[in-house]
Copies of this chain bind each other. A is one copy, B any other.
Amino acid sequence: MPMIKLIEITEKSSPGCCSPNLAPRIGGDEVRTLSDDLGVLAHPIRLQILDMLAQRDGHVCVCDLEAALPVKQPTVSHHLKLLRAAGLIDCERRGLWVYYFLLRPALESLRTRLLAQFDALR
């Protein structure tokens, strides 16, 4: 009796089309972190902010970014906050102005992780 049940289950789980034991090689935490980081990059305004910070190596104040972007000041602040929370940029206050700058090591580390992922897809 248990024999019959076992056979049924086995056939059900392998109906002739499947490669068994297929599983993603990237696990729960790792894949979550990676997709979160990709999500931070996946916005035109944020990509453009990173690009502008990369140009003016030192520091760029928010009013410059705002002037160069097609969104209003609170939206710029919002995206800056997300980039900062992701550890990709940081800022420093000088008088009235706040100057943002890239955290190049963090970007380098993200680049490395992304490349590793792409290489895993060969």
Contacts and interface: CB of A to CB of B under 8 A. Distances in A.
Interface in A1-24: 13, 15, 17-19, 22-24
A22 B68 contact: yes
A51 B25 contact: yes
A80 to B, nearest CB: 14
B61 A48 contact: no
A50 B107 contact: no
B120 A24 contact: no
Contacts of A50: 121
Given A47-B26, A51-B26, A118 B122 contact: no
Contacts of A122: 54, 104
B22 A67 contact: yes
Interface string A29-64: 001101110110111101111111011100011011
Contacts of A60: 19, 22
A82 interface: no
A94 B35 CA distance: 32
B97 A121 contact: no
A75 interface: no
A15 B63 CA distance: 10
